[in-house]
Structure formats: C-alpha cells, structure tokens
Amino acid sequence: MTTNERRQEYRTLFKQNVKNRLLVDKAVRIIVFACVIIAIIPLGSILVEVFKNGISAISYEFLTATPGSIGSGKGGIGPAIQGTLIIIGLSSLIGVPIGVMSGIYLSEYGDNKLARFIRFFNDVFMEFPSIVLGIFAFLVIVLILGHFSVWAGAFALSLIMFPIVARTTEESLKMVPITYREAGIALGLKKWVITFRIVISAAKSGMITGILLSVSRIGGETAPLIMTILGSSQFFSSMDVPMDALPLRIWRLSLLPYDSAQLQGWGSALVLIIIILGINLGVRYYFANKTGNGIMGRLIKQGVSNKK
Amino acid sequence: MKKNTVEYRKQSILSDKIFKVGATIAGTFVLVMIALLVFQLVSESYPIWEEDGLSFIVGTDWNAVDGRESFGALPYIFGTLVTASLAMLIGVPLSIGIAMFISDAPPKIGGPLGFLVELLAAVPSVIYGLWGLLVFRLYFKDWVEQPLHDLFGDSIFLFSGTPFGLDILTASVILAIMIIPTVSAVSREVMKAVPQQQKEAAYMLGATKWEMFKLAVFPYSKTGLIGASILGLGRAVGETMAVTMLIGNATGIAAIPSSLFKPSQTMSSIIANEFVEASPASLHLPALIGVALVLLLIAIVINVIAHLLVTKMMKVKEGAINN
C-alpha cells in the first residue's frame, strides 16, 4: 500500500517532534477508552433501573393475573407472559424448519450463482424494518381473514427469524470437515442421509445457538405485533382473537400517565429482560466455554450483533 | 444382486432429488417473500398514488379526518433521515473508537468489554424506549438540552424551541446507542482483516499506535468501515419502538424538523402510532402503507450498499491471505 517514497517521507517525519506525537497518541488512547465507557454506561443504567424499579412490582399476582382496570395499579401481566411464550413457540414452528432447510441449501448446494444471490438477499432481508414485515403479515393474513390473528403475528416474527437461522445454520454446516461427508459417500449413503445424520449432528451446537439467538431477538420485537396480534387483556382463548405479548404490554403501559402503570411497565420490562438476556447469556456462556475463541465463538458474537 | 444395486441407485437419486428440490425451495423462500412483500405494498398503497401521485411524497399535510383527508409523507421522510443521520453522526465515531480499543487491547480486557458492548444489542427496543422515556430523558433534558439551549438558543436555529425531552435530539441519541453494537462489531471484523504485516510495517517505521491506525489500518479498512456505518444507518432508519416513544409524535407540517428540540415523527413511528386506527375503507391505510413502501425502499438501498461495501472489503481480505 505504501510506496518507497512515501515510506522515506514517513521515516523523516517520525524522527521529528517525538514529544508531541507521543502526547497525541496518549490523548487518542484516552478518547478511545472513553468511547467504550460511554457505550457501557447506558447498558449499566438500563439494567440497574429495570432491576431497581421492576423488582418492587413483581409478585405472584403480578406474574399470573390479568391486567386490572386502567390506572388502578391492580392486576398483572399473566396474559402477556403467556402470549410471548405462545408467539415464540409458533414463530419457531414456522421459522426454524424454513431457516434450517435454507441453510442446508446455502451450505450443501451453495456454490452457484443463485445461491450467492440468495445469500446476499438473505442478509439484506435480515435488515428489513420489522414494522414493514408486520404490515406484510397484516396484508396477507389479517386483511384476508378479516380479524386479528395469532398466526399473523407468528408469521411476521418467523420472517425475522428464518434468515438468522439460515445464516447461522449455513456457517455451522460449513465448518463440518468435508471428510465427514466423504466418509458418508464412501459408505454409499444418500446425500440427505449424510446431511441429516452426519453433518447436522456434527453441527448441532452451532445451529442451536443460532436458533436460540433468533428466539431472543424475536422475543423483544414489538412493532410487527402491533398490527397482527394487537394486544389484549385476556388469556389466550383462540387463534382468531387478539393476544397480548410482553413488549406490547410494556408499550401500552408506557403510554399511560399513571405512576402505577409505570411501575407495572418496569415490572414487565424486568420479566422480558430476564427471559431475553437469560437465553442470550446462557447460550453465549455455554458455547463460549465449549468452543473458546474459535470461529464458533466469533460466530456467536456476530449472531447477536447482526440481529438486534 | 447386480440388479438390486442398480435399483438402489435409481431410488437414491430420486430421494436425493427431492431433498435438493426441498432445500432449493426453502432457499428461494426469501426471494419469494421479498417479491411478494414489495408487490403487496405497491398494490395496497396504489389508491394513494392514484389519488395524490408524487405529491404524496412532497406533500406536508397529514389529516385523517373524514372529508378533509390529505396525506403528505415528506415530514416523516425528513424525520427519519434527520434522526438516522444524527444517530450516525454520534454513534459511528464512538463505535469506531470502541472497535479500535477492542481490536488493540489484550484479549483479557478487550473480550469482556466487547461482550458488554454487544449486550447492548440484546436489549429489546421497547426497553430502550421505556428507559429513555422514564429515565434518560429527564437527565438529558437538564444536563444537555437546557445548557445547549441557554448557550445557543437565540443565535443558532438548531437549538431554538423549548427543550422538553421528547424531541429529535433525544430520539437520535437513543438511536445512536442502539446502533453502536452493530457498527462496532462490523468495524472490528473489518479491522481484523487488515494484514498483520501492514501494522508491523508501520511500527517498524517508528509510528506510535495512533499513527499505526492512521497509516495502516484506516486506509486499508476504509471501505469496510464506511460499509459498517451505512449498516448502522440502515438499522437506525428501520428502528421503530424506541423512536416512537421518544420523538414526541408531531404530525403534518409540525413534524418537519426545524430544531433539535422539536417533536417530530419518523416513517416507522407514524405507522406504529396510526396503523391500528386507520380504516381500510379510507385513504388513511393506503397512505400508511405508502409510507411503509418508501421506508422499505430506503432501507433496501441503504442495506444493499452497505453489504456490497462490507463484502468487497472481506474479499480483499481473502485475497491478502492467499498472497
């Protein structure tokens, strides 16, 4: 990158005013360190506030009861917790098989133009505004059925989920040595048997990581749920009526001007953050210990940073 | 015996074919979804384009009341672009600083710190909103906005208006925090791609650490760093909940950003606020879907550019290793 003349130039430059240069260097070091601190302060503040304010809202009634009348401060978030678990389950039911098969395609048949095209758009699709995916689910499911539906929410969230699963599956399958596949071929096995019985069982942990990280991502999604499951204060009764979810409940509570609503909001936030950070940290801790700082460790970190 | 083998081969080819077709269908699912998504948005927002044409994009009125309906998306397009750019302006230098620190620190310090920064990405958007609304806004108003207003309020239009905390600046700062994990993680990957020899060559010439970054790392990873920043921009453009809760939700001409301390509205927040109330029979729903279409197109353009830049950088990396 550097030509000989420029190198000469730098060499003479570096001999001069050493003192100032060291000073600048030190200043930059401090600034750079300050950047890290500035980024960590909000994280600390969020965690502290959520725990501090949320813990006093938590009680058995709060976790299991239906919400009381607005502003009364009574009742709880039972339907919201139940709804979040249901919606996570249903979206995984749709998103995981598609994501895994798509990952298999990218990894096992992925050496052609179409696959490179798909890989690229998969990455772009991952960054689509989630609210637009919500509108899409609204248009193709809610508008056609004529009522809000749990399936619409699950469909919207599965659209967020499957590209993440596809990419992590692809990366983990690619790390399985080619010799494993060759051993399968030598045994005369069919390709799909090789893929499901040998390759996937070797890449299992990476795939599970990807799936759980995508679960922790969709668990906190709010925007696509607004126009698909709407929110409700009743426990789940059927797929065809509105349902509640934790992020939706937090949003609704934050719009209310009462102190008691704020307190309940913090309580819900605490429950949500425990679920999500629990999955996230658990997965990272478990697999980081197992795989160290290798490619897998990097992948895990990327998996999170790529998807908020 | 021989016949059996042949039969077996035939059968295996068939089941493998099915497997391949199944995998290919799952792979192309994403393309189908993108096509269907764009088609749906275009066809469902068609009434508003038919009614208003291009004036939907450049119009500034927003009125959903029956009989006096008029819809113009310009304020929200502005709102999105202004908040996202401000977020980038604040978030990108911080992120690159973080990436520099972590790529340079010993793994024992850099690892945990990097991990903490990445945890920011795991916090759900709605919790950022709640925290911003109930905690951050109050401190920010007293410690940053009020002093800025007192100092520059009269002379610079950017700082005019009464600081209240629910405004463009607060929303942008929260957005900046939210894009830090993305931008810093990608920047770090990109900086890692700089060949060790380049760095050592700079040290060998007598460069200090900062000069090493300036001479060896930045020129080499420029493309990737720009890509990382644009990726952050894409994130900021699509972000909904935290912004909706903090931007103050003005509508119509009032939402055009004229001061940092004024409430505004972004494309995603107007959708989040009004979508459920919009009646499919009126123009309101098509208008909101039209806003979503514009948002999607902007997001696609931004992300395609970002991914092209980052992949280009990573290809350079592979080339460097092979050489």
Model confidence pLDDT, tens digit, residues A154-167: 999 999 999 999 99
- The answer on B36 and B118 residing in a single domain is no
Higher pLDDT, B313 or B213: B213
Predicted confidence band at A72 (pLDDT cuts at 50, 70, 90)?
confident
Chain A residues within an 8 Å CB radius of B113? 36, 40
Domain boundaries, chain A: 4-54, 60-175+206-306
Q: What is the mean pLDDT of residues B47-52?
A: 89
Helix (H) or strand (E) holding B70: strand B70-71
Cβ A14–B207 below 8 Å, yes or no? yes
Chain B residues within an 8 Å CB radius of A170? none
- The answer on B76 and B35 residing in a single domain is no
Cα B116 → chain centroid: 20
- The answer on B6 and B130 residing in a single domain is no
- The answer on B61 and B31 residing in a single domain is no
pLDDT tens for B115-159 read 888 888 889 999 999 999 999 999 999 998 888 888 887 778 788
How many other β-carbons are positioned within 10 Å of the β-carbon of residue A178?
8
CATH architecture of A60-175+206-306: Orthogonal Bundle (1.10)
> Is B182 in the A-facing interface, judged by CB distances under 8 Å?
yes
- The answer on B40 and B107 residing in a single domain is no
- The answer on B117 and B84 residing in a single domain is yes
> Is A127 in the B-facing interface, judged by CB distances under 8 Å?
yes
Please give the pLDDT value at position B249.
86
Can you tell me whether residue A213 is helix, strand or coil?
helix
Please give the pLDDT value at position B322.
39
Shortest CA distance from B22: residue in chain A = A101
Number of domains chain B is built from? 2
- Average pLDDT along chain A: 87
The whole-angstrom separation of Cα B237 and Cα B298 is 8
Chain B residues within an 8 Å CB radius of A220? 123-127
Contact B255, B79 (CB under 8 A): yes
The whole-angstrom separation of Cα A127 and Cα A204 is 26
Contact A132, A196 (CB under 8 A): no
pLDDT tens for A191-205 read 899 999 999 998 988
The whole-angstrom separation of Cα A121 and Cα A103 is 13
- Sign of the torsion angle spanned by Cα atoms B171, A223, B306, B216: positive
pLDDT tens for A270-298 read 999 999 999 988 887 777 666 544 444 45
Q: What is the mean pLDDT of residues B175-204?
A: 90
Can you tell me whether residue B71 is helix, strand or coil?
strand
Q: What is the mean pLDDT of residues B275-301?
A: 91
Please give the pLDDT value at position A16.
73
CATH, residue B71: 1.10.3720.10
pLDDT tens for A254-270 read 988 888 889 999 999 99
Residue B7 belongs to domain spanning? 2-44
Chain A residues within an 8 Å CB radius of B37? 128, 132-133, 136
The whole-angstrom separation of Cα A106 and Cα A119 is 7
Please give the pLDDT value at position A283.
84
A302 pLDDT higher than 60: no
Please give the pLDDT value at position A186.
92
> Is A87 in the B-facing interface, judged by CB distances under 8 Å?
no
Please give the pLDDT value at position A296.
47
B312 pLDDT higher than 50: yes
Cβ B23–A46 below 8 Å, yes or no? no
Predicted confidence band at A307 (pLDDT cuts at 50, 70, 90)?
very low
Predicted confidence band at B293 (pLDDT cuts at 50, 70, 90)?
very high
B5 pLDDT higher than 70: no
- The answer on B63 and B18 residing in a single domain is no
A143 pLDDT higher than 70: yes
ipTM, two decimals, is 0.90
Q: What is the mean pLDDT of residues B213-231?
A: 91
Tokens 């502003």, located at residue: A71
The whole-angstrom separation of Cα B9 and Cα B2 is 11
Q: What is the mean pLDDT of residues A163-177?
A: 92
